[in-house]
Amino acid sequence: MLTSVVAPAGPLPVAGTPLSPLPLDQPRVGSGPARAAVKLALGVILLNIVVQATTYALARSGYVEQSTAISIGLWVGFAFYGLVFLVTIRGGAAAGVEPLWTVGDSRTSLRRGLAVGGGVSLVILGLQSLAVHHLAGDAAVNAIVSEGSLVRILAALALFVVIGPVIEELVFRAVVAESLRSRGTGAAVLASSFLFALAHLRPASLVYYTLIGAVLGRLYFRYGLKSSISAHAAFNGCLVAAAIISVLGPAKTYTVDGATLQLPAHWKTVTAPPGAPVQLALSGPSGSGLVVIDRPVPPGAVFSPDAVVAAAQQHLIPIPPGASIDSVQTVDYRAGRAVLVAMTEGGRAGRLVTMVVHDRAWIFVLATAGSPRASSEFDHMMQTLRLP
C-alpha cells in the first residue's frame, strides 16, 4: 500500500551516490536544513516564473511567430533544467540531506514506480478524452509535438520523460521531502507536493498537481527516489505518447451545415467566442486556428476577387482588425472556384478563402501562428471540402 511507509531500522539499503557524504545513521535534518531546502524550491519556482514570463512576452510581442516561440521555449526549458540541476546539487549538499535511492529490492522499486505512474496517467487521459470526445492530453506537450517533426518529438521525449522527471524529483523529493522527514512523512509529503504544484505555474490545476506530487512523495518514502523518478517518467511518457498518437493518427471528417471537411487528427474543435457568427472553430499545430463561417449571400451581390477585398475592407468578412492584405487570387478546389486572400496580422501570416455556392457564402479563415504544418495542411483540407 502506498499509504504505509516502512522505515527499516539501522542503515537503509541505498543504491547509488547520495547528494551529500553524510552517513545514513546520522540524524537526518533539523529546522535549518529544512528551511534551506524550502528556500531552494522557492528559488526554483521564482526562476521558472521569470523564464515563463519572458517566453510568454516574446510570444505575445508579435516579433516572432507562435511556432517559433514554442521552439525557443523548448530549448530554454533544457537550459532551465540544467541550471536547476546545478543549483539543486549545491543546495542539497548545503542542506545536508541524504536522499534514499532505493528502499528494499531495486527491481520492485522500479516496477512499482512504472506501474503507478503509467496507471495514473492512463486513467487521467481516459477521463479527459471521454469528457471532450477525442484523445486529450497535456496542452504544453501537445503544442511541442503538434508540428510532427522528428526533432520536436525527440526533444519532447528527452525533456518530459528523462530530464524533467529526474530534476523535479531531485528538487521536490530528494531535497525538500527528505529535509522534512524528521517532521513526519505526512507533513513532508504535503509540503513537497504543494511546492511541486506551485512550480508548475498553473493556478487552476493546483489541486491536481498537489495530488500527483503526493503520490510521488509516497512512492519516494516507500520505495526510494528510483521509484518516484520512474513513476514521474511513466506519467509524462504516457502524455507524450498521447500527443504523438494525436499528431500521427487518422484524419477526421467534420460536417458543417451539410458541408464536409477532412482534417488531420491533431486539429481539435474549440469553443468560438460568444456572439461570433462561426459554425466551426478548430485549433491546430503550434497554436494555429481555423474557423468556418456559412452565411447567405445578399441579393444582387457579386462574387469576385475585387468584391471579396472590398468586403474585407468594410469588415463584412472576418479579417482580424489591423490585418493587411498581401495578395488576392482565384483558386480552383474540388468544391468549386474560390477567392484566396493572403494576409498578415501582427507579423503572423493568415489566409482567407471565400466560396459562393447556391446563394450561400462559405468562408474559411486560417491563422497559421507561424506553423509550416498548418499552412501546408490548409491546402489539403480545402481539397477535401464537399459542399451541399
Per-residue pLDDT 10s for the chain (388 aa) are 333 333 333 333 333 334 343 333 333 444 667 888 888 999 999 999 999 888 888 777 767 777 888 888 899 999 999 999 998 888 777 667 888 899 989 999 999 999 999 999 999 999 998 988 778 888 889 888 988 889 999 999 999 999 999 999 999 999 999 999 989 999 999 999 999 999 999 999 999 999 999 999 999 999 999 999 999 999 999 999 999 988 888 888 988 888 899 988 888 888 876 766 788 899 888 888 898 988 887 776 666 666 776 766 666 666 666 677 788 888 888 888 888 888 887 677 888 898 888 778 888 989 888 888 898 899 889 999 998 8
* pLDDT at residue 18, rounded to an integer: 41
Is the alpha carbon torsion for 177, 181, 183, 185 positive or negative?
Answer: positive
The region that residue 255 occupies, defined by phi over 0 for left and psi between -120 and 50 for alpha, beta otherwise, is beta
CA distance 223 to 79: 30
Number of alpha carbons in the 13 Å side-chain half-sphere of residue 350: 25
**pLDDT (0 to 100) of residue 142:** 87
361 burial (CB, 10 Å; 0-12 / 13-18 / 19+) is buried
Q: Can you give the pTM of this predicted structure? A: 0.78
Quick one: which of 269, 299, 260, 291 has its CA closest to 354?
291
pLDDT, residue 15, reads 35
pLDDT value for 6: 34
pLDDT of residue 66: 77
> How much of the chain is helix, strand and coil, in % rounded to 5?
55, 15, 30
C-alpha cell at 273: 467566442
- Res 271: pLDDT: 82
Contacts of 250 (CB under 8 A, 6+ apart): 265
Report pLDDT for 20. Answer: 40
Output the pLDDT for position 45.
93
Backbone angles phi, psi at 56, to 5 degrees: -65, -45
3-class secondary structure, 342: strand
Q: Is 27 helix (H, G, I), strand (E, B) or coil?
A: coil
> What residues contact 296, with CB distance under 8 A and at least 6 apart?
359, 360, 361
pLDDT at 54: 86
State how far the Cα of 379 lies from the Cα of 331, in Å rounded to an integer.
11
48 to each of 83, 93, 111, 144, 229, how far by Cα in Å?
11, 22, 31, 18, 20
The per-residue pLDDT for 248 is 83
In this prediction, residue 19 carries a pLDDT of 39
Alpha carbons 47 and 126: distance in angstroms, whole number: 33
